[in-house]
């Protein structure tokens, strides 16, 4: 009987070990697939051509370190810290990298997500949407059609009429006012 118990315990231990190996293999395969997707995603704008083409060194001299991180390396600013998060003046929002007009103030809304949010783009030539599976999520990245700079992401939880929420980093955009000041300047 003792021999039978020992053999049963050994079988149970081997089975547990095999389950652990299988789980580890599945996890390793998933991580490898995610790394492949992230690498593919990072290269997704590399094969595209844009109106504004600059070398990495040129971008570094034109942009601040934070702007470079977001626009060129697909970084994200901390929520609730951006200059345009709670900014609601009348005008147009432009790409910080190339000056292309991207969003109208009429399409901006308070989403409480911590980043400037727009329910529509200025026109269909302003941005390019790219599937983004980085960080274990499925999202749609938004890049400037003029220079390929990373702006943020678009989600389908926005208000009518589009139902979209373009969640944009403040550091990736500038603002041009439509309202003239006392000196007659915009």
Give me 7's structure tokens.
């053999």
Does 167 qualify as catalytic in the annotation?
yes
Question: How many alpha carbons lie under 13 Å from residue 121 in its C-beta half-sphere?
Answer: 22
Which residues are part of the catalytic machinery? 167
């Amino acid at each position: 009987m003792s021999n039978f118990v020992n053999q049963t315990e050994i079988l149970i231990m081997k089975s547990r070990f095999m389950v652990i190996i299988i789980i580890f293999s599945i996890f390793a395969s998933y991580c490898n697939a995610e790394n492949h997707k992230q690498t593919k995603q990072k290269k997704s704008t590399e094969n595209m051509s844009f109106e504004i083409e600059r070398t990495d060194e040129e971008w570094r001299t034109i942009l601040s370190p934070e702007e470079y991180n977001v626009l060129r390396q697909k970084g994200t600013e901390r929520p609730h810290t951006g200059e345009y998060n709670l900014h609601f003046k009348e005008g147009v929002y432009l790409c910080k990298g190339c000056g292309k007009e991207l969003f109208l103030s009429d399409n901006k809304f308070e989403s409480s997500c911590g980043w400037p949010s727009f329910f529509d783009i200025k026109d269909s030539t302003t941005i390019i949407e790219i599937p983004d599976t980085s960080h274990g999520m499925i999202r749609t990245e938004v890049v400037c059609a003029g220079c390929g700079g990373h702006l943020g992401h678009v989600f389908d939880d926005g208000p009518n009429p589009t139902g979209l929420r373009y969640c944009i980093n403040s550091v990736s955009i500038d603002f041009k006012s439509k309202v003239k000041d006392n000196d007659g300047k915009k």
